[in-house]
Amino acid sequence: MLVQKIETQGAENMHDQQHNIDPSILNNVHVLQTENVKPSAETERAFRDALGCFGTGVTLITARTDQGPIGMTVNSFASVSLDPALVLWSIAKKSGRYDAFRNASDYAIHILAKNQLDLAMAFAKNGNSFNDQEWDMNSGKVPLAKRALARFECESEAVHDGGDHSILIGRVKRFSQRAGQPLIFNAGKFGTFSDDEI
């Protein structure tokens, strides 16, 4: 296994060099480049960093439970099928919100706008971060955020096993969209598009 350019405290003499090292070090440091690493418990941090290179939008997913509304910040959202209209997202089985979303018959997926970082941060920390002024309810009592860039009101179509996550497939019953710029998540950071041309 090859590791390059480790940037961290505690590994100063590895900067800008290539080293064959004990893979367990990868759980303590952030690396800029890795090669041919086998995914394992020891290399989970590096695996997450590599996955984090995939920039995504940010969604807020809401549902109704017997205890009240619940929400979660999620970036595993993806489109699946146009006909029928299907989308997917995945939820960690260890999440305290797992049972609520796993058992929800309906949920709403909101694609967040760049000025909705507050919602993303709040619902990453706490599933009950609802503020009355920002929410409507649909007929199924699923909370709908007022300012989202796009919204997909879904019925749960299927739940598939996905290792330490479950993959939830939603059938879109209604959707909405408004003009605006998305909130972006990449390499553990939130951001937006700049106006620069690529």
Ligand X SMILES: Cc1cc2nc3c(=O)[nH]c(=O)nc-3n(C[C@H](O)[C@H](O)[C@H](O)COP(=O)(O)O)c2cc1C
Q: What strands lie across the sheet with 189-191, from one edge to the other?
A: 56-57, 184-186, 189-191
Beta bridge partner(s), residue 189: 186
CA-CA distances (angstroms) from residue 176 to 81, 158, 173, 187? 17, 23, 11, 29
- 75 sits near ligand X (criterion: CB under 6 A): yes
- 168 sits near ligand X (criterion: CB under 6 A): no
- 107 sits near ligand X (criterion: CB under 6 A): no
- 166 sits near ligand X (criterion: CB under 6 A): no
Span of 28-36, 37-45, 85-93, 136-144 interacting with ligand X by CB under 6 A:
85-93
Q: Are 60 and 32 spatial neighbours (Cβ–Cβ below 8 Å)?
A: no
- 90 sits near ligand X (criterion: CB under 6 A): yes
Residues with Cβ within 8 Å of 64's Cβ and at least 6 positions away in sequence, in order, are: 70, 104, 106, 140, 141, 142, 143
Residues with Cβ within 8 Å of 156's Cβ and at least 6 positions away in sequence, in order, are: 104, 105, 106, 107, 168, 169, 170, 171
- 92 sits near ligand X (criterion: CB under 6 A): yes
- 109 sits near ligand X (criterion: CB under 6 A): no
SS3 3: strand
CB nearer to ligand X: give 43 or 129: 129
- 124 sits near ligand X (criterion: CB under 6 A): yes
51: part of which helix (H) or strand (E)?
helix 44-51
Longest dimension (CA), the chain: 61
CB nearer to ligand X: give 58 or 149: 58
In the bound complex, what is the minimum distance in angstroms from residue 123's beta carbon to ligand X? Answer: 6
Q: Give the residue, chosen from 91, 108, 111, 145, that forms a contact with ligand X under the rule CB under 6 A.
A: 91
Q: Give the residue, chosen from 14, 74, 145, 172, that forms a contact with ligand X under the rule CB under 6 A.
A: 74
CB nearer to ligand X: give 124 or 144: 124
Using CB under 6 A, list all residues that contact ligand X.
Answer: 58, 72-76, 89-92, 95-97, 124, 185
